[in-house]
Structure 1
């Protein structure tokens, strides 16, 4: 849990998201219309990716982020953890404002690990992908 706490701190301090103004949601799937959790919500929120036992929690081996599912699988087309994937989940607020794409692929232009990405956020995502 210490790793995940550090990761969320890095995400929130890197300037990619602002927990104080809007909830930052992760949306994935073919049309980015599948809710995958709240990035900026408290670990006690059942919709938070930081909730250890919640459906959307990164550490829940049976939730949407399990290693064998489509969103954290290193080979999944819609996975944030696929180093060659082009269709990773997107980061948006409730108003639909786009903040970037959750992808470890360094060639995705709007990805957190892409050419215009934020190195600290990319590192945090890589840590999360390794932990799932």
Structure 2
């Protein structure tokens, strides 16, 4: 498997990140944008943590964490040409960075690959919200 890492999103990463979002097929109910200007505006919000997904020194996606109605929620989009296990590794890295539990993720009901990746990490379905499914990574007892 190639080396996967998360790092701060730089201005020169935005083209690759925007392309990955549109190519990934992931639906982000909490972060909708139809064009580059709306994507750029979204990535300039101060209340969201943005991270570039890097595979072997190439930006292949974007991950984000934000507060939604008082809960911490994560999003990610990985380009389809990234390594097949990249989404799972990114989710592992992101959940390690975001220590708050419970941690939520919301995906379109039709986004089957995302459902599988979330389940592999331990997320469970929390509720249905129209055409979206909200998942939760519950707190663990240590």
* TM-score (norm. length: structure 1): 0.30
Instruction: Determine which structure has the larger strand proportion and give its number.
Output: 2
Larger radius of gyration: 2
* TM-score (norm. length: structure 2): 0.29
Instruction: Determine which structure has the larger helix proportion and give its number.
Output: 2
Higher relative contact order (CA 8 A, sep 6+): 2
